[in-house]
Structure 1
Amino acid sequence: MSARPFLLGLTGSIGMGKSTTARMFAEAGVPVWDADAAVRRLYAKGGAAVPAIAALCPDAVQDDEVDRGALKAWIAEDRTALARIEAAVHPLVARDRAAFVAAHADAPLLLLDIPLLFETGSEGGLDAVLVVTAPPAQQRERVLARPGMTEAQFETILAKQTPDTEKRRRADYVIETRNLEQTRAEVQALMAEIKQRVADA
């Protein structure tokens, strides 16, 4: 057995079934770190990112927590805003991830759920990357079923993400999430493969 956990990064474009797949790993007993949840913690009342955001954009902090609506408005009007926010927040997210890994040092496998894994260069330090995918028509159907989602919003989000074909090319493992039964079976098979890979190391 490895002296440290096997770190499996999970990513996939919007509507590809990433959250559902992460939940399947969690239900199988694998500790899961969620990058989006980490950002929410950092932005919450008393969160580590609150002073940094307040220094960049005082209007984006209300009642000692980050107002994400105000943050989005600032990003929309200032082309330098996003890069400045990322420079302040990404190190804090990395610290949160490192703390999670340290806290689960005895686990054989950890899943790190990182929506923008390739976009943010977060693959460093991972043992493998799993990309979830689905046919484009199924992806579109899933996303447009979300409350308040429009075609224009969907296209804008897609334009900011690494294309699915590129993600799959760069992945160590790919799971196609056409239906729950098949996805769960592939998750179980992958866990068994990684367990064997760790045992053989």
Structure 2
Amino acid sequence: MIFHLGLTGSIGMGKSTTAAIFAQAGCAVWDADAAVHRLYAAGGAAVVPLQQAFPSAIVDGAVSREALKQILAADPAAFAQLEAIVHPLLAADRQIFKDTATSDILVFDIPLLFETGGEAAMDAVACVRVDAATQRARVLERGTMTEAQFEQILAKQMPIDEKSARADYVIETDTLDHAKTQVSAILDQIRQTQAKPALGGKTSADA
């Protein structure tokens, strides 16, 4: 039986690093952000429908995220139109992954998993987290956004305490070794319980 594990968290919490740990452990990983990049690239499935909806968003045959950002800033109502186009394409990309992946555990790296109700399609959810000071330092050290932009993104995401409370597993990403230990424990438990009717309640990855 193939197990579907959702992986989520907030910006700067270490989700991408944790997804890579799952991949190194033999899991097949579907990355929602990477899927969007595929859809937006030249020849991607989103280019033609987005060109019809937002002509100025297409630059050199691909969707320009910067141009799209400017369009949405000028007309916030356009966001619903964007989602109506992109979400079905993402779902199709995710289904192809499900149909072709060969691992016994499939990991779905989705930042807004709870915000979009995506947890309903998962057998369990793991949430990565770290303290607020470390989160802020990690994001700002990247040099890709200002503090104001960071705060804007945080405001759009479900509070990490709520995500953690709703998740089946919580992975503390304070150190790489600690994260690896917790991922290993989660995979061991999933594989041990796959034959059982249900996993039960929330589980500590350190247990």
Note the 1:18-167 alignment, pairs <5 A.
Answer: 18-104=15-101, 106-167=102-163
Correspondence for 2:200: none
Moved over 6 A (4+): none
Note the 1:160-175 alignment, pairs <5 A.
Answer: 160-175=156-171
Correspondence for 1:15: 12
- The one-letter code of the counterpart of 2:117 is G
Q: Give me the TM-score of the superposition, normalised by structure 2.
A: 0.92
8 Å contact kept, 2:21–2:180: yes
Higher relative contact order (CA 8 A, sep 6+): 1
Separation (CA, whole Å) in 2 of partners of 1:47 and 1:13: 27
- The one-letter code of the counterpart of 1:32 is V
**2:192 is the counterpart of 1:196:** yes
Structure 1 residue 165: Cα displacement: 0.9
3-state SS of 2:133 partner: helix
- The one-letter code of the counterpart of 2:28 is P
Number of residue pairs the alignment of both structures matches: 197
RMSD of aligned residue pairs (Cα, Å): 1.0
8 Å contact kept, 2:47–2:61: yes
Separation (CA, whole Å) in 2 of partners of 1:166 and 1:51: 38
Structure 1 residue 140: Cα displacement: 1.0
3-state SS of 2:118 partner: coil
Identity percentage of aligned residues = 56
Separation (CA, whole Å) in 2 of partners of 1:22 and 1:81: 31
Which segments of 5 or more consecutive residues in structure 1 lack a partner in the other structure?
A: none
Correspondence for 2:176: 180
